[in-house]
Structure 1
Amino acid sequence: MEINVGAVISANRKQKGITQQALADFVGVSKASVSKWETGQSYPDITLLPILAAYFDVSIDKLMAYDAQLSSTEIRRIYTSMKQAFETQPGDAVLKSIRNLIRRYYACYPFLLQMGLLILNHYDLLPGTSQTAKVTEYVNEARLLFVRVRQNSQKAQLTAKAVELEGYSLLLLQRPDDVLALLGEYVPEQLPADSLIAGAFQQKGDFRRAIATSQSGLMQDLSIIMSQLTNYMTLLKDDPNRLAATYQRGQAIAKAFDLATLNPAVWLNFQLAALNGFAQQDKTDEAVALLQEFTHVLTATKMPLTLHGDAYFDAIEPWLEQLDLGSQSPRVSGQAKQVLADFVLQNPALAKIRTLPVVQPLLAELKQVSGHR
């Protein structure tokens, strides 16, 4: 990621067949200065860059080996590197690296989108005096990146993602009127692209690609419907019958697709929403049964979390590989597991449940997962 101007100067000088002294004479510096540039001991003064670029007949960006755009592979590599850095470096050091990268690639809109997502997924690990202060600073920082992408990108798909993430950021910032102004008050009608793509492959006689496309669409739809049910249950604390019905339907879907194994992160969040609702409604037996199942799956879930197929979704690997982040989890896996455990250990709504004798062994397991003693 460093500017490698010295190597470019050296390569261009040798291509022209001139000596370090000849270049030094033209630019007006010593031969030792050119030597230091080429060995990386120092950089040319910024005022000399136009002269050097003109001499070699290249742009300043090319002279500095700088490209304002990154490939999808490079973006994924940087995201992974920054995500892993949270496990070995303090939050302020990681934040400095992220901000430096953003400044360097401020015109690479796919990259800005992923850096905003990186900040959203890890703002709790960044420096700050309180969780509220972190949300105010870092979620808004991510939001501004999404705004830039929305306003400047010429790619419709990228702009659509930016709009959705901007809306999510505004919701975290507790700006509901701005969310509605951005997204509207009604869910827009959608024509699923996966069905059209699968149909196109079918017409071409490529049934393998048609099946793979349909599977990838189903995989996404499964995660979306379970997430929607999860969010819906958070609205039903005063409606016991509807909460129970919603949980039963979601649980049936999860069981049918073996979601606890296929996508444990989605399944665990679904269970937590139901657990919180049943606890608030004093449905102790249901809450305890949920907590037992939740603890078993969370403890058994292997890290790092990744997206994957199974015997039913057996053709989705190419789709997973082309995703912005590939099959990796967007958040540090160890931290994700800790957050889920801490929800049970610290949520005030579960205080009564935590006092029950039958729950104590489960809490001990969760404390081990979370790192608490």
Structure 2
Amino acid sequence: MKIGRIVSEKRKERGMTQQELADFIGVSKASVSKWENDLTYPDITLLPLLAAFFDITLDQLLDYHSQLTADEIKRIYQLLQNNLVNKSGEEVLHELRRFVRRYYSCYPFILQMGLFILNHYDYFPSVSDQEKADVYIDEARHLFLHVKKNTKDAYLINQATNYEAYTLLALKRPDEVLTLLGQHVPAYFPTESLIASAFQQKGELDRGVATLQSAIAQYLYVMMSGFTNYLQLLLNDFEKFKTTYHRGKVVADTFDLSHLHPIIWVNFQLSAAVGFAQFEQRDKVEEILTDFSHVVAKLSLPVELHGDAYFDQIESWLAQLELGQQLPRKSENLQEELFAIVLEHPVFIPYHNEPFYKKIETLKEHLNE
């Protein structure tokens, strides 16, 4: 709290001495001096009297702000991510919980703290991996519930509901997911087309272009994530699995996804490689994992969202996202984590002696030097 500075500033604005303020409040001059030099705080019973005397609110007296700006939320999220590098997971978790208590009524912030837990709980302390997942995923779920129950913002309610469903799925409670979201995909109304048309009518063509570019980029990311998940549902149907992979790859190659959004591309390729390995398609496994290793090795860390020559007007959209251009998951150790998936997944055990697999092991060791 900066109460000492506030008291000093307000007293001087009134042209009062410390003694005059002390006489009015009913304390000693030494007490006022200690407040202003941040040696002690006023007794809690004196705070309403001080606020009334200076004609300010208690929040103004304490210099307390319950709401954070979008930029402040991004900075705190980034701060916590950075602290994972040089602090223990326990310390970062303590910091996060302290922030949550302080800004418990800032619902956009609470939503992001729930996401931070989901994206980084593997850094936090626990007895076992399963216990860790259950404990921290449920902690995130309660943050999303808090947002959903208390905010009046329809957009935040929708986000919190979707994230709550994600946590329920992670906790293996599928019936609750279906109860929460329903059993059919809702019809989608493309509001971005209306926004772009409105800009066009106003003669603001650049903003209309930027609107539709950002929408198409999002559709692309969602579509590729859909392909990634769909592949895992087709492990009993090789022909449809193969067709789905090829169609997804055509889309990815068309939009140069390995450069535009390498993380989504990598997830798609890993999903495909796991499936082809189960179908014992050795040539496809080698082709995909070799390509995968080349892309992962060239990742520029930390990974940030960005546009390209086609999506050349999406920077303003990226800037206004909850986390801006940064990824929700800490990306400094991303290369090592991605290689670990390939080198530790049991489905790839039959390939451990293959020359291409040995090259991947060597590449990982080289990156760790």
Mapping of 1:149-160 within 5 angstroms? Answer: 149-160=147-158
Mapping of 1:177-216 within 5 angstroms? Answer: 177-216=175-214
Cα deviation digits, residues 115-149 of structure 1 (max 9, x gap): 11111111111111222111111111111111111
The structure 2 residue matched to 1:60, chosen from 43, 58, 69, is 58
- For 1:51 and 1:97, the matched residues in 2 are separated by 33
SS of 1:154's equivalent in the other structure is coil
SS of 1:327's equivalent in the other structure is coil
Structure 1 unaligned segments of length 5 or more: list them. none
- For 2:28 and 2:366, the matched residues in 1 are separated by 63
- For 1:354 and 1:217, the matched residues in 2 are separated by 42
Asked if the contact 1:170/1:179 (under 8 Å) is kept, the reply is yes
Q: 1:241 to 1:367 in 2, by over 3 A?
A: farther
Give 2:9's aligned amino acid. Answer: A
The TM-score normalised by the length of structure 2 is 0.97
Cα deviation digits, residues 354-373 of structure 1 (max 9, x gap): 2323310112213444x4x8
The structure 2 residue matched to 1:94, chosen from 79, 82, 92, is 92
2:239 counterpart of 1:237:
no
Give 1:139's aligned amino acid. Answer: I
Give 1:86's aligned amino acid. Answer: L
SS of 1:333's equivalent in the other structure is coil
- For 1:207 and 1:139, the matched residues in 2 are separated by 44
Moved more, 53-62 or 144-153: 53-62
Structure 2 unaligned segments of length 5 or more: list them. none
SS of 1:86's equivalent in the other structure is helix
- For 2:335 and 2:294, the matched residues in 1 are separated by 13
- For 1:368 and 1:104, the matched residues in 2 are separated by 44
Asked if the contact 1:354/1:363 (under 8 Å) is kept, the reply is no
- For 1:80 and 1:42, the matched residues in 2 are separated by 32
The aligned residue for residue 319 of structure 1 is 317
Moved more, 14-23 or 292-301: 14-23
- For 2:209 and 2:284, the matched residues in 1 are separated by 39
2:242 counterpart of 1:249:
no
The structure 1 residue matched to 2:256, chosen from 255, 258, 261, is 258
Cα deviation digits, residues 11-62 of structure 1 (max 9, x gap): 1111122111222233333322222221222222323222222222222111
The aligned residue for residue 46 of structure 2 is 48
Give 1:273's aligned amino acid. Answer: S
The aligned residue for residue 36 of structure 1 is 34
The aligned residue for residue 339 of structure 1 is 337
The aligned residue for residue 24 of structure 1 is 22
The aligned residue for residue 101 of structure 2 is 103
Runs of at least 4 residues off by over 3 Å: none
The TM-score normalised by the length of structure 1 is 0.96
The aligned residue for residue 284 of structure 1 is 282
- For 1:317 and 1:365, the matched residues in 2 are separated by 33
The structure 2 residue matched to 1:303, chosen from 295, 301, 304, is 301
Cα deviation digits, residues 323-367 of structure 1 (max 9, x gap): 111111112112333321211121112211223233101122134
The aligned residue for residue 164 of structure 1 is 162
Moved more, 8-17 or 288-297: 8-17
Give 2:220's aligned amino acid. Answer: L
SS of 2:235's equivalent in the other structure is coil
- For 1:76 and 1:53, the matched residues in 2 are separated by 32
Question: Post-superposition shift, 1:171?
Answer: 1.0
- For 1:126 and 1:142, the matched residues in 2 are separated by 13
Residue identity (%):
47
The aligned residue for residue 360 of structure 1 is 358
Give 1:30's aligned amino acid. Answer: S
2:145 counterpart of 1:147:
yes
Asked if the contact 1:345/1:367 (under 8 Å) is kept, the reply is no
- For 2:300 and 2:239, the matched residues in 1 are separated by 35
Give 1:6's aligned amino acid. Answer: G
The aligned residue for residue 218 of structure 2 is 220
Give 2:208's aligned amino acid. Answer: A
Give 1:106's aligned amino acid. Answer: Y
Number of aligned pairs? Answer: 369
Question: Post-superposition shift, 1:312?
Answer: 0.5
Give 2:241's aligned amino acid. Answer: L
Give 2:261's aligned amino acid. Answer: N
- For 1:208 and 1:189, the matched residues in 2 are separated by 29
Asked if the contact 2:290/2:356 (under 8 Å) is kept, the reply is no
- For 1:169 and 1:264, the matched residues in 2 are separated by 25
Q: CA RMSD in A?
A: 1.4
